[in-house]
A and B are shown apart, each in its own frame.
Chain A
């Protein structure tokens, strides 16, 4: 029995402060594209665009809500998708089996491909044009919602390791923002952000909208700048915002804060 060669996957360069400028720029562009998507069809277009921007062969986003409703945006061929559904491959797909109801990103090399059904599945997937490398981000949403975002690539181990080292952090964030966007779209055209801003997040964004700098906001709220960073990080995510200015603008647009 052959096992896939294994390599340590590093997630250690994932924080914003450590991210390089070029990567960050790409990320901001993608987050902006996402916030402009107004329908599930546009999310499909987004996924196709993302493939080009990051030079990835395939991307898959798949969401399952608590009542079993499903939605997917993906770049696999129709033939492969039909075959996958017809054969019920989710029952043996190591990516699904290893990620379902979890929340830690994983390189496909760390999944268990040892069983014969898994290896047969891998062989068939490869014959349908899927690559040998992959990286998946399982996501927990509100009220039992679950989503899985995966990238798939035909590549050698060294180049793939370099890719994940450089891009894993972007992909994790994009996966979460895309899920948040899909939840908003599902909620209806006029819904806006699905998660309410908390009182302290509103305070923080309001004070920022009034032109205060972070130190001033922290002082006014009698919290440390580190804690302020958490409220802003949380508010940005809830607003699907690429940066703080964008978060403030989104909150104003939806009438969530008033200045």
Chain B
């Protein structure tokens, strides 16, 4: 299932949290060789994890199957702090949120499905809160992956060449994209909405 969890609520899900931060270390430190910090427990975290971001997490058997991280561009974001030159300068609007750390667990039972469901959940978040766009920074390899997933960002600017290229891009939110992502993920629009409502709108009645 998809969970939408703020950082300050993550402690309530220790297995999910720990597996997410370890999977991020594997993906961003070990595989992609990014200059990220991995602590003694094997967790990859940066300064933006300390800003109480909203995580979108695909949970598989109580563990992390994949995730990404959202922050509003009205506050501090990675793209505006470090990659504004790729985006033509800092972009700041209530309807635009930054997405970072798109990660699929190496232990996921179905990595392609995990990626599809995450894209769907990103679309659900945008449509659900009436956002216009999401902005992100990603390496060259991801451009092809986003295309395969059926929802390409529009590139604002890029630095470097070949495998080392890094780009800033925009995803535009609308209902049609969300419907398409639901189909690709094999999740009904209703179920996607239910996961969203459970996190933000509709608190399910407790069983007495």
Contact = CB atoms under 8 A, between A and B. Distances in A.
B90 interface: yes
Contacts, number: 124
A102 interface: yes
Contacts of B8: 101
Interface of B is mostly: loop
B72 to A, nearest CB: 5
Indicate the size class of the contact surface on chain A: 35 or more
A110 B202 contact: yes
Contacts of B71: 103, 140
A139 B73 CA distance: 11
Contacts of A237: 74, 92-94
A233 interface: yes
Contact of A198 (B91, B132, B135, B205): B91
A109 B203 CA distance: 8
Interface stretch (B58-66, B123-131, B180-188): B123-131
B172 interface: yes
A198 B154 CA distance: 19
B201 A110 contact: yes
A173 B94 CA distance: 7
Given A102-B52, A109-B203, A199-B89, A8 B197 contact: yes
A198 B96 CA distance: 16
Nearest to A105: B129
Nearest to A8: B202
Nearest to A102: B6
A17 to B, nearest CB: 9
A226 interface: yes
Find the residue from A102, A105, A144 having the highest chain B CB count within 10 A.
Answer: A102
A13 interface: yes
Contacts of B25: none
Interface string B86-116: 0111111111100000000000000000000
Nearest to B97: A103
Nearest to A203: B88
Nearest to B53: A103
B82 interface: no
Rank and list the top 8 A-B pairs by shortest CB-CB distance, nearest first. Answer: A198-B89, A14-B130, A200-B88, A140-B75, A176-B94, A9-B201, A101-B52, A237-B93
Given A103-B72, A110-B201, A176-B74, 13 more contacts: A8-B201, A9-B202, A15-B95, A107-B201, A140-B72, A142-B76, A173-B94, A197-B89, A227-B154, A227-B170, A229-B132, A234-B91, A237-B92
6 contacts: A172-B94, A176-B74, A226-B154, A229-B132, A233-B132, A237-B74
Interface of A: 3, 6-15, 101-107, 109-110, 112, 114, 139-145, 169, 172-173, 176, 179, 195-201, 203, 223-224, 226-227, 229-231, 233-234, 236-238
